[in-house]
Amino acid sequence: MSLYNPVVQLENVGVSYSNGFQALTNATLQVYGRDFLGLIGPNGSGKTTLVSVILGLIKPTTGSIELFGEPISRRNLRRVGYVPQKTMLSDTIFPSTVFETVLMGRTVRTGLFRRFGKEDYRKVEQELEHLSIQDLRNRRIGELSGGQSQRVLLAKALASDPELLILDEPTSGVDTRSAAEFYDSLKHLNREHDITIMLVSHDIGLVTKLSNRVACLNGGVCFQGSTYDFKINPSILAEL
């Protein structure tokens, strides 16, 4: 796929829930290969709904969506890595070491009826080393700090060899230093490993610092363009 073909293409996507609430209206958005796209918007603007639509978790009421030039399917979802909010890891009783948690990321690559093999273990070791968490490999996931947990979830997402990585407020509740290290890793992945990144955040300063493109959401997509265009356009900020 060419860099100029969108990895994600949303055309006039609308989502309304059964109670009549319209979470998204006519959202049109393109994410291109190697983009680092920051998706920003106030609380309740539809950011998580948009991510859910891209991940196939919610079916849009109107409009169309394509991933890697095709309608969403289980096949092309395997090319997407997802890192949820930190709060997802609240279950401290879950009996899984860091190594085993990252290995879960290989589940869809390995396929049904097959056990994990040498290649899966090698990939996990590689990602642990890559994110400098190899020392944590035998620690139980519930014993980790917020920043460490998010690195583990990032390693898990990367273990599936994704071409597109979607992160939904990945460092909410994580201390500043750990968050900075986490975002350094993201920058490295985007620049050195050509992974397309879509980062959802309400932190405008962070998004403009990291991303090359910005999309603003407030019910629908009210702006999408380069980070530079976003910065020199104060009216967009006022709208948010």
The tokens for 209 are: 């610092």
4, 93, 135, 192: residue in contact with another protein (rule CB under 8 A): 93
The answer to the question of residue 88 lying near another protein (CB under 8 A) is: yes
What is the three-class DSSP state of 85?
coil
Which neighbouring-strand residues pair with 6?
A: 32
**Minimum CB distance to another protein, residue 77 (Å):** 4
Angle at 54 between CA 236 and CA 2, to 5 degrees: 85
- Taking alpha carbons only, the member of 86, 5, 22 closest to residue 218 is 22
Stretch that binds another protein, among 20-28, 78-86, 125-133, 190-198 (CB under 8 A): 78-86
User: Which CB, 91 or 135, lies closer to another protein?
Assistant: 91
User: Which CB, 140 or 187, lies closer to another protein?
Assistant: 140
In angstroms, the CA 45 to CA 23 distance is 7
Number of residues that bind another protein (CB under 8 A): 31
Q: How far apart are the first and last CA of the chain?
A: 34
User: Which CB, 84 or 219, lies closer to another protein?
Assistant: 84
Give the binding site for another protein (CB under 8 A): 55-57, 73-75, 77-78, 80, 82, 84, 88, 91, 93-97, 100-101, 104, 107-108, 110, 112-113, 115-116, 138, 140, 160
